[in-house]
Structure 1
Amino acid sequence: MTISTVDAEAARDLIARENQALNEGASFDYVDELYAEDVIVNMTRTGDDQPVVSREDIKALYREWKSAFPDLRVEVEHEAVEGDTVMQYVTMRGTHEGPFRGIASTGNEIAVPGFHMRRVQDGQIVETASVAGMATLLGQLGLKLPLEA
């Protein structure tokens, strides 16, 4: 089955809308519009290993990051689109102004590398996976690795 360039461009545009909405706002209502109700989520929340499985979980994760890093923005460093799938290598930048997973606000600037994969069908994201460089983030927040129990 061949997917047209129009489909690839539509997928790219949808993911660009998601990044723009995350960068600009504090409301996460766009998740309900952009993500299919039965989205397949391939992520685990680092720190408690709870799987992220739904649009509500995605909103909670975004809310957590934006409350800790209110100026959080996603910068796309590299992007590849093949058919209905968009892969992005990103840098997430922001200032640590609120608690994050038990770490009190430090005021530190962060620049965290990560990858996002989004698969799009019928104008919505139907599958997603994201990975953030959490070791990099923890170091930028002043934690020394390895953590001792």
Structure 2
Amino acid sequence: MSSTPTDTTEDRRRWPQQWADEVHGKQNLDFIDECHAPNWVGHFDGEDLTNTEYKEMQRQLLGGFPDAEFVFGPVIVEENTVAGHWVMTGTHTGEFAGLEPTGRSVHVTGTFVTHYDENGRAVETWENIDQFSMLQQLGIAPEDFTMGGMLRTLVNLVKSGL
């Protein structure tokens, strides 16, 4: 597989799924270095990440959810920008963000926009992840969002060290 998307719209549309298959399916974190420009910056739920920080985030995700699978769609391509929606499913069988394994399955969604340079390498990514839903599915946050539920969530987060 080429480490950079090609010039056709369809190849760019398939690129996010190919990326996930390589990074999560094959657990090949070095692939990130191949497809991100050295000065890549990511914006994830309001936090800016470097390549090194992003690889650590993916390492933690793989450790906590080694069976994580991503499905992308729809994916929209506009010149050097690719945007879309993804769904991740996986089972929490390892430590993740300081949280001991719960054995629970999760179904998490997110959206992304990635801009590529003239060489086909990602230079900037914006991503939003439904982290609250993940916390609900892991039993950290309540299913019903009420004031009492919010207080229980805070207590659970403090207890878990998040």
TM above 0.5: yes
Unpaired stretches in structure 1, ≥5 consecutive residues: none
Give RMSD over aligned pairs.
2.0
Q: Give me the whole-angstrom Cα distance separating, in 2, the residues matched to 1:109 and 1:70.
A: 12
Q: Is the radius of gyration larger for structure 1 or structure 2?
A: 2
More relative contact order in 1 or in 2 (CA 8 Å, sep 6+)? 1
Give 1:113 shift. Answer: 0.8
* 8 Å Cα contact 1:70/1:95 also seen in 2: yes
Q: Is the counterpart of residue 130 in structure 1 residue 127 in structure 2? A: yes
Aligned residues: 140
SS in 2 for 1:119: strand
Unpaired stretches in structure 2, ≥5 consecutive residues: 1-5, 143-149, 156-162
Residue 66 of structure 1 is matched in structure 2 by 62
Residue 12 of structure 2 is matched in structure 1 by 11
Task: Give CA deviations for 1:21-64 in whole Å, capped at 9, x if unaligned.
Answer: 123122300011000001122125xxxx8x44321111101001
- Give the TM-score normalised by the residue count of structure 1: 0.83
* Residues 9/95 of structure 1: CA separation in 2 closer, same or farther (3 Å cut): same
Q: Is the counterpart of residue 82 in structure 1 residue 78 in structure 2? A: yes
> Which ranges of 4 or more aligned residues in structure 1 deviate by more than 6 Å?
none
Q: Give me the whole-angstrom Cα distance separating, in 1, the residues matched to 2:86 and 2:135.
A: 17
Q: Counting strand residues as a fraction of each chain, which structure ranks higher?
A: 1
Q: Is the counterpart of residue 115 in structure 1 residue 105 in structure 2? A: no
Q: Give me the whole-angstrom Cα distance separating, in 1, the residues matched to 2:8 and 2:40.
A: 19
- State, as a whole percentage, how many aligned pairs show the same letter: 25
